[in-house]
Amino acid sequence: MTAEVVSALDPSRGGLFVDCTVGAGGHARVLLQAGADRVLGLDRDAEALPVAATTLRPWTDRVDLAHADFRALDDVLDDRGIGDIDGGALADLGLSSLQIDGDGRGFSFRRDEPLDMRMNRRTGPTAADLLRDAPESEIADVIHGYGEDRYARRIARGLVATRKREPLTSTGQLSDAVRRAVPRGHRQRIHPATRTFQALRIWVNRELDGLDAWVPAVFRRLRAGARLAIISFHSLEDRIVKHALRGLEQKAGIAIKVLTKRPARPTEAEVLRNPRARSAKLRAAERLA
């Protein structure tokens, strides 16, 4: 959604822009091409930063990359002596293509590989670790809450039965166990393991933790006239972002204006080029004072 990002953030105004999930650097590159003076790029995935550095090599003197979670924005800015962001900020909360396509990451059921799912492979338990240790009730709650799967209880029961026979250590094992747990007559437009994989990924990476507090925290660092754009890929994230923006708009203190009463969606042409973009939603707001 590069065109939508440029429209929402308007980098032609110049200034510092922070790409809080820089990934391979695609959005950061577009911001620089469209007029941003500087870009500070963050990513919790250390493996993404060398790729971003290559993408952004023509603007090396105007780019600063940091290995950090987007929720650590305050710390990154403070470490660099940056008080205000005068251009804008962007967060693309979805998985990057680097993570989906990368060997051994464990995000996809389309390849049989280790069940990792960590965005930052330097820290924290893997999906295999959590599935090994968590009680059935917790696994069911995760699949229901983060995956919104109607068969969460059955799937959790099936996963626990499977781990009693053998450790769940690969994406293929997980996918097969979920498929066995879902009733055969239940037809879906998507693979039966899709929601379980989403739920476990959110669980492993604590993706929703602190998101509601992070949105106002960004606006505290934005200068009047600067904007924030957030791209989400599932209803749980989008709901949190929507309510956080609405709450700020109605709250005294930081004055903001929501620029997207309805979220921007990718065009049909983009979805044809990149089917992974089909569920993307972009919301944006501007700090007024």
Residues of the chain with CATH 1.10.150.170: 104-205
Report the C-alpha gap between 209 and 229 in whole angstroms. 19
pLDDT of residue 187: 56
Question: Where do you find CATH 3.40.50.150 in the chain?
Answer: 2-93+207-287
- Closest alpha carbon to 229 in 240, 218, 221, 243: 218
Quick one: pLDDT at residue 276?
81
CATH architecture entry for 104-205: Orthogonal Bundle (1.10)
- Going residue by residue through the chain, which has 289 residues, state the pLDDT in tens, using 9 for 90 and above: 899 999 999 999 999 999 999 999 999 999 999 999 999 999 999 999 999 999 999 999 999 999 999 999 999 999 999 999 999 999 999 888 888 888 899 999 989 999 999 999 999 999 999 999 999 999 999 999 999 999 999 999 999 999 999 999 999 999 999 999 998 866 567 889 999 999 999 999 999 999 999 999 999 999 999 999 999 999 999 999 999 999 998 887 789 999 999 999 999 999 888 888 889 999 999 999 8
Cα–Cα separations (whole angstroms), residue 49 to 16, 57, 65? 19, 12, 7
In whole angstroms, what is the distance from residue 199 CA to residue 177 CA? 15
Indicate the residue type of 174. L
Burial of 288 (0-12, 13-18, 19+ CB in 10 A): exposed
88-92 and 227-232 beta bridge pairing = parallel
Q: 2-93+207-287: which CATH topology? A: Rossmann fold (3.40.50)
Read off the amino acid at residue 247.
Answer: G
